[in-house]
Amino acid sequence: MNYFNFAINFLTILALSWYLILNLQWYNYKLKRVILNHHKRSWHILYFVLPLVLWINLEEKYFSIALIVYIIALFLWNKKLDKTLVYTKRVNRFFIILTFLLISTYFTDSKFYALASLFITLIASNLTEKLLFLKYKKDARRKLDNIKNLKIVAITASFGKTSIKNFLYYILKNSFNTYKTPRSVNTIAGLVLDVNKDLPKNIDIYIAEAGARVKGDIKTIANFLDPQYVIIGSIGEQHIEYFKSLENIKNTKKELLLSKRVKKAFVHQSTDLKDTNGIEVFPKDLKILKSDLDGLSFSFLINDKEEEFFAPILGSFNAINLSAVILLALELGLTLEEIRKSLKTLPQVEHRLQKIEAGGKLIIDDSFNGNFEGMMEAFNMCKNYNGRRVVITPGLVESNDESNIKIAKKIDEVFDFVIITGELNLEILEKNISKDKVFVLKDKSKMQDILASSTKSGDLILFANDAPNFI
């Protein structure tokens, strides 16, 4: 093979591989999800299938022009993404294997071998990562075992698990040396990495989230963490496209109870479980006393006695999350007065009904809240605001059309100006919201300019859910 043909084939496979590994990173390195569950499959045709077909059918000297266009198109497309490729050790290993295989194709004169390099790299990379993961997982479990008297709290829910984790950490941190998983880390791979890399060796309590996309995901986490304390929060139809039914979601969440060391589990009523030895259903007789832009007051039964609480956070649904936190804090030895004192200074969770005042505008950042109940709660709360109301939303992601229609109708009822981001639910939202209220934002990088020109002092601006632009 001459140098020119080799260079063309090398760059083509490299570009195709870059697009593929980026999509794999978005979808947790699950090729099946990239193929079957991708929200913008037209990208696959434009940035993978079409270039691949042209490369296979054209001689290198003719395809070279198309390759230049393809690389420029990838570059411009990448600039518009809000989640670009992160060059992790896994990604770097992928490209090292690929480069080695592609260099070896110089001694052949076949595009078949160049293309085969990509598929061999996928297989070799996957096998390598599985072997490395087994080692990392074993190291992480050994580290957990070596921390004397460590109490592990595992939390799962369809929605609210990150809030529960953050609330619980704040309540416990003054009484125990406590560590929580960062951000929304909730996969087995993320937990193993967190334990190995960041978990301190002198802690009393480790608080971790458990998330799932398929049956068995949480069972794997339960077997790894083996927590003594479990919280299963509200369960709903989040990620219904993966689980197919609400019953499958419930059964998957309840896999957290398979831990062999569970001493106490607090499970929400939506699990359909009953009070048994070691399992307590919550909340009992929950009452929302007040929920507005100043905070949340609520009560529920603890040991058959009604107890009242206040927290300066938004959203009546957080009373459910806080009731689980309160019960577990009591189980770990805190008093009601200690809990009440901490709740009064409870900080807001970033991007979850976070109240921000800036430039005379009231901003409610609920961009990480992607469930139906939470979004409806945010809309109802905004309804009572005495001023112009603006919402920025893509609608519900990984949900059904019926729920998005209800969301759209509520938006039309409450808000004066609606900015729709993304194309996923655009048709449904436009059909059910008054046309004179709607602005479609196709390029999210221009959001700041749009808000500056279309909002004014005194406006309420709600960021209701967010989705990366590959969705």
pLDDT tens, residue by residue, 69-91: 999 999 999 998 989 999 999 99
Give the range among 217-221, 398-402, 414-418 with minimum mean pLDDT.
Answer: 398-402
Same fold, 148-344 and 354-464: no
Rg over CA atoms, the chain: 25
DSSP letter at 348 equals P
What confidence score (pLDDT) does residue 385 get? 93
Nearest to 227 by CA among 206, 201, 250: 206
φ and ψ of 381, to 5 deg: -65, -40
Confidence of residue 189 (pLDDT cuts 50, 70, 90): very high
pLDDT tens column, 287-332:
999 998 889 999 999 999 999 999 999 999 999 999 999 999 999 9
Please give the share of the chain, as a percent, with pLDDT higher than 90. 82
Give the range among 38-47, 105-114, 252-261, 262-271 with minimum mean pLDDT.
Answer: 105-114
The DSSP code sequence of 56-105 is HHS-HHHHHHHHHHHHHHHHHHHHH-SS-----HHHHHHHHHHHHHHHHG
Residue ranges covered by each domain of the chain: 3-130, 148-344, 354-464
What confidence score (pLDDT) does residue 1 get? 58
Nearest to 321 by CA among 182, 157, 181, 175: 157
CATH class for domain 354-464?
alpha beta
Confidence of residue 369 (pLDDT cuts 50, 70, 90): confident
3-state secondary structure of 185: coil
Confidence of residue 6 (pLDDT cuts 50, 70, 90): very high
Please give the share of the chain, as a percent, with pLDDT higher than 70. 99
Buried b (16+ CB within 10 A) or exposed e, 281-291: bbbbeeeeeeb
Architecture category of domain 148-344 in CATH: 3-Layer(aba) Sandwich (3.40)
pLDDT tens column, 200-235:
999 999 999 999 988 999 999 999 999 999 999 999
φ and ψ of 450, to 5 deg: -65, -45
Q: What is the side-by-side order of every strand in the sheet holding 417-421?
A: 354-358, 361-366, 460-464, 389-393, 417-421, 438-441
pLDDT tens column, 330-361:
999 999 999 999 999 999 888 888 999 998 99
Query: Residue range 169-198: average pLDDT?
Result: 95
Cβ atoms of 462 and 385 within 8 Å: the answer is: no
In whole numbers, what is the pLDDT of the chain averaged over residues? 93
